[in-house]
Structure 1
Amino acid sequence: MNGTPPLAWDEGLECWVVADPRLARQVLNHPGFTSGTFERSFQLYMTEAAREEYRELTEFLRLWFVQADAPEHTALRRPVQRVMSASYVRSLAPRVEEFTEECLDALAAGTPHDIVPAVADGISGKVMAHVVGVAEPPEVLHRWARTLSLFIGAMYRRDHAEHAHRTMVEMTEALSRATAPKAFPQESPEDRARTTATWAMNLFGGLETTSSLLASTVLDVLGEPPVWDAVREQRPGAAEEFVEKVLQRRPPLRHLGRVVAHDQELAGERMTRGDLVLVSLTGENPLADPAAQPDPAAQPGPAAQAGPPAACPVTGATDDTGASEQHLVFGFGPHYCVGAPLARLEAAVLLRRFAARFPDARLAGEAPEWGPNLSYVGLDHLYVDLGV
């Protein structure tokens, strides 16, 4: 953990920061820490007048089931898990291939060749539009997601709240016409509000973080010649193994939030009911500059490793399907990300298809441009020379 204390109070953010993976698992899977961070953040960072003015927006976000705890979270999550089952994700593979080829066509046709809008945003947007059944193009979906993420990261700003409210209205209208929500409860106004919030959350969750993973995968593989060679040669498992390394090296989401449910002591520190907690998913400071990550070219690629990558010192964690996990990037326990298999599929397909289409690709001279959001780590621009 490079000297980072396992639990520390951050004066600037006025919250606890949990960096130790063992402690992170404990917090993420313990009833003494609740998931309702939006509600607590509304109280701490929005004025009473702003909360009243944007009550519709705060209610919309409060209904996202990731903000609930058992048994409510379990009941709301179960039907989404059925929709996002392993068999369903496998069935999406041909569509993901199709969308990837369309986006690589767009990349080749554009100048300059910018991976982020053409490919990362394009693939994740097309996939989520297909899953949810909305007609909006990727650029609209990502505008919605980025607007909401800016508000979530800085609720005290009225301009962010205003833009997020407008986005909520647009998303709600689009979801009223979408296909996936129609299979969820619609009988009462409360049912419809919950269903809309659930699918807005699913849509949001499959956009920014997945786009970040896709762009980071291209950035890192072009900096690691041995891995790039393995992927170009279509060595079995090379793409999937490298995606795991990228997830650990540049996780799209660096931390999860929790709220202290009652006064308690943890790791020798006294925590007070209502305190906010940032739980690192990397074992490092979750607020570090993403551009300061290690140079991929200076690290051995997974093809050269004798065993699995070891970014997290604690192994053997399980998600809610019982599968073994090497890291916490997709969370832990009852809130393990339901979209993890889909994100992995999109990244591995992109890696294979990009290598097949552009085997002589390399990074262009322009430096990658990272976005400013502290929570969602992603590139705004990544320019490549396609070598064709």
Structure 2
Amino acid sequence: MTSATAPVPPPSLADGVRAPEWDEGLDCWVVADPALALQVLNHPGFASGTFERSFQLYMTDAARAEYRELTEFLRLWFVQADAPEHTALRRPVQRMFSASYVRSLVPRIEEITDECLTALAAGAAPQDVMPTVAEGISGKVMAHVVGIDVPPPVLHEWSRTLSLFIGAMYRRDYAQAAHRVMVEMSEALVGARALDGFPTDTPEDRARTTATWAMCLFGGLETTASLLGSTVLTALGDRALWDTVVRDEPGAVTGLVESVLVSRPPLRHLGRVAAYDQEFAGARLRQGDLVLVSLTGQGPLDEVVPEAEAPAACPVTGAAAPAGGDRNLVFGHGPHYCVGAPLARSEAAVLLRRLAARFPHARLSDEAAVWGPNLSYVGLDHLYVDLGGEA
């Protein structure tokens, strides 16, 4: 962790702004105010290396030594780096996930979606959208993009296992499971199509490239599956809204996806580390302090807004979410804006259109939604529907 040579002056605290708060239970600062969250995500006084700091705080010396291979693997994820290193490592991946590339993927996404909907329809009612469709689509799309032959249940098990370790690094059983996943992911990525053109000449090159694409796999699974599930839940939970999707009214699908990103974003928080001693919005931060940045305007222990009461306006700007817009923080902000945002949006839009075209009479079952408990992720464990027969 290096100190900045010229600290940026702290912002003044405007009236009504929720100041950063120290959470004793989480042992970190919490920035829940949207205006301050934007500043933290663009402020050189807040570094991205939360894994490194967490290793120091939550793992014993013995555990760090025993699982050094695992911690080195996670350190190499470029989301843990800042400029200029982050910019250089991100650039080739960003080209891979460009809007034009995502548009070229749409026919394949449609094929995958149809396969998953066929599998869903083959089951007895009520059918569970999450494992068959949400996890199926996100898993198969990422496997296609990266060029590996690994089924969605395995991919999602990998992702969940890494998530558990990242959230509780002090647990030896989580570290053991995450180490196993690291080995399995690395073996699966040998010869993967996406690695073509990335450096592999030296052991260091191979380690960095493997970690980069493992990170991309991880990032494209749980949060995307959560978005897909929440989008179906929102659409089928409002018959008038669902009818606009069935009729394919202009802007209905893209507008619905954007509203879900605002009202129930898959990821609630991002982590940062104070790069030096500083005063920020009235709070005295010390170098190395962990900072939890809210993407929703809520604190980590605030109750998630129920679907029926979800805000129709963007929590950052107060404006209604426009079709295709980017008026929220769900994909982050600034240099670390999520490279997979166009792909996630595309998968959600394709699913809505294919589901509506094929099963226009679909409806939610009684007690359809079963939410998974997690401080950072907002995701469904199960979503039960009755498809109502094909059109």
- Gap regions ≥5 residues in structure 1: 301-308, 317-322
In structure 1, how many angstroms separate the alpha carbons of the residues matched to 2:209 and 2:301? 33
Conserved? CA contact 2:142–2:220, under 8 Å: yes
Cα deviation for residue 313 of structure 1 reads 3.5
Cα deviation for residue 279 of structure 1 reads 0.4
2:26 counterpart of 1:25: no
In structure 1, how many angstroms separate the alpha carbons of the residues matched to 2:380 and 2:340? 20
The within-5 A match list for 1:90-239 is: 90-111=103-124, 112-239=126-253
The residue identity in structure 1 corresponding to 2:66 is E
Aligned to 2:307: 295
2:293 counterpart of 1:279: yes
Aligned to 1:310: 313
SS of the residue 1:328 aligns to: coil
Conserved? CA contact 2:258–2:325, under 8 Å: no
Deviations 1:169-215 (A, max 9, x none): 00000001311113200011100000000000001100000000000
Cα deviation for residue 299 of structure 1 reads 6.5
In structure 2, how many angstroms separate the alpha carbons of the residues matched to 1:299 and 1:27? 25
Aligned to 2:71: 58
SS of the residue 1:370 aligns to: strand
TM-score by length of 2: 0.91
In structure 2, how many angstroms separate the alpha carbons of the residues matched to 1:299 and 1:273? 37
Aligned to 1:270: 284
In structure 2, how many angstroms separate the alpha carbons of the residues matched to 1:313 and 1:120? 28
Cα deviation for residue 59 of structure 1 reads 0.5
Larger mean CA deviation between 110-119 and 336-345 belongs to: 110-119
Aligned to 1:305: none
Q: For the structure 1 residues 315 and 34, does the alpha-carbon distance in structure 2 shift closer, same or farther, using more than 3 Å as the test?
A: farther
- Gap regions ≥5 residues in structure 2: 1-15
In structure 2, how many angstroms separate the alpha carbons of the residues matched to 1:46 and 1:52? 10
Aligned to 2:379: 378
Q: For the structure 1 residues 250 and 224, does the alpha-carbon distance in structure 2 shift closer, same or farther, using more than 3 Å as the test?
A: same
The residue identity in structure 2 corresponding to 1:334 is P
In structure 2, how many angstroms separate the alpha carbons of the residues matched to 1:24 and 1:49? 35
Total equivalences in the alignment: 369
Cα deviation for residue 274 of structure 1 reads 0.4
The within-5 A match list for 1:326-365 is: 326-365=327-366
Cα deviation for residue 31 of structure 1 reads 0.8
TM-score by length of 1: 0.92
Conserved? CA contact 2:248–2:353, under 8 Å: yes
Deviations 1:27-58 (A, max 9, x none): 00111000000000111111111111111001
Larger mean CA deviation between 255-264 and 215-224 belongs to: 215-224
2:17 counterpart of 1:11: no
The residue identity in structure 2 corresponding to 1:311 is C
Deviations 1:58-85 (A, max 9, x none): 1000100000000000000000011111
Aligned to 2:81: 68
In structure 2, how many angstroms separate the alpha carbons of the residues matched to 1:36 and 1:115? 35
Cα deviation for residue 287 of structure 1 reads 3.4
Taking only the aligned residue pairs, the percentage that are identical comes to 72
In structure 2, how many angstroms separate the alpha carbons of the residues matched to 1:380 and 1:120? 10
Aligned to 2:3: none
RMSD over equivalenced CA pairs, Å: 1.7
Conserved? CA contact 1:153–1:374, under 8 Å: no
Conserved? CA contact 1:361–1:385, under 8 Å: yes
Cα deviation for residue 335 of structure 1 reads 0.1
